[in-house]
């Protein structure tokens, strides 16, 4: 209940409405937005906030760009809204497309990355505490947000690798550990390597090789080798 009330309060603070992309008869494109940001600088912040909050499908690349620019400008007035984007993942009332690679996920990941750059703390533990209660699509997106927040991320991601039963969620945690992990996570990754080796050796229902699992194992091996030379 406490988490739900927190999320509800954050979402209530989020702005919404049309943006410069909605007002244009043709899509100006992210390149045009970047050019305006470079030319007009911090005076673009109100426009960037509108773009970041635009609910219209298809504007996700521009929203990601705008959110990154708000972080560049150190816009702390956007923190409440950025938090609301991240915590959409925990609110069952917020409909949308969930999963690690959906356009909406890219926007939430951009918000998490911006919050990290703005040095906003205390978010990862709230996300992690809801991990086991999330439905599969949202659970599979969770590692990406944890990784972007960069706040004790490696330890939390390693716990997901160790305890999670959904293979895709585990793989998403591996992807993030490749970015933010260290030698301290080698033990849990090597254990996973052994589990996936045994799983790959078991015959499938149709007798064919699980190619996706083979690709995941290859990626895991590269991740382990990369962390072995990391300090």
* In a domain? residue 138: no
Statement to judge: residues 31 and 82 lie in one domain = yes
Q: What is the pLDDT of residue 13?
A: 40
* In a domain? residue 198: yes
Classify residue 80 as exposed, middle or buried by CB count within 10 Å of its CB (0-12, 13-18, 19+): middle
* In a domain? residue 131: no
* In a domain? residue 177: yes
Q: Is the pLDDT of residue 8 over 50?
A: no
Statement to judge: residues 104 and 176 lie in one domain = no
CB 41 within 8 A of CB 4: no
Statement to judge: residues 31 and 115 lie in one domain = yes
| pLDDT (tens digit per residue) in 63-110 | 999 999 999 999 999 999 999 999 999 999 999 899 999 999 999 999
Statement to judge: residues 73 and 13 lie in one domain = yes
pTM of the model: 0.86
Q: What is the pLDDT of residue 17?
A: 55
Label residue 6 by pLDDT band (50, 70, 90): very low
- Alpha-carbon distance values, 143 to 133, 160, 180 (Å): 14, 8, 11
Statement to judge: residues 108 and 154 lie in one domain = no
Statement to judge: residues 116 and 149 lie in one domain = no
Statement to judge: residues 5 and 115 lie in one domain = yes
Query: What percent helix, strand, coil does the chain show, rounded to 5?
Result: 70, 0, 30
Q: Which residue carries 């659970």 as its tokens?
A: 139
Statement to judge: residues 68 and 110 lie in one domain = yes
Number of domains in the chain: 2
Range of the domain at 70: 1-120
* In a domain? residue 130: no
């Amino acid at each position: 209940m406490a988490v739900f009330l927190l999320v509800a309060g954050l979402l209530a603070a989020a702005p919404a409405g049309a943006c410069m992309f909605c007002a244009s008869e043709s899509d100006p494109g992210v390149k045009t937005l970047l050019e305006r940001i470079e030319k007009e600088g911090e005076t673009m912040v109100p426009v960037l906030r509108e773009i970041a909050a635009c609910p219209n499908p298809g504007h996700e690349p521009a929203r990601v760009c705008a959110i990154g620019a708000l972080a560049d400008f150190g816009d702390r007035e956007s923190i409440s809204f950025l938090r609301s984007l991240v915590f959409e993942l925990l609110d069952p009332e917020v409909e949308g497309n969930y999963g690690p690679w959906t356009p909406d996920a890219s926007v939430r990941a951009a918000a998490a990355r911006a919050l990290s750059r703005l040095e906003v703390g205390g978010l990862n533990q709230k996300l992690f505490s809801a991990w086991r209660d999330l439905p599969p699509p949202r659970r599979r997106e969770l590692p990406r947000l944890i990784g972007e927040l960069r706040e004790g991320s490696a330890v939390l991601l390693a716990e997901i690798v160790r305890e999670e039963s959904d293979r895709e969620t585990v793989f998403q945690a591996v992807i993030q550990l490749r970015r933010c992990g260290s030698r301290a996570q080698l033990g849990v990754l090597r254990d996973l390597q052994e589990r996936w080796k045994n799983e790959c050796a078991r015959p499938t229902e149709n007798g064919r090789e699980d190619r996706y699992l083979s690709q995941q194992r290859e990626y895991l091996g590269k991740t382990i080798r990369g962390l072995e030379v990391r300090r």
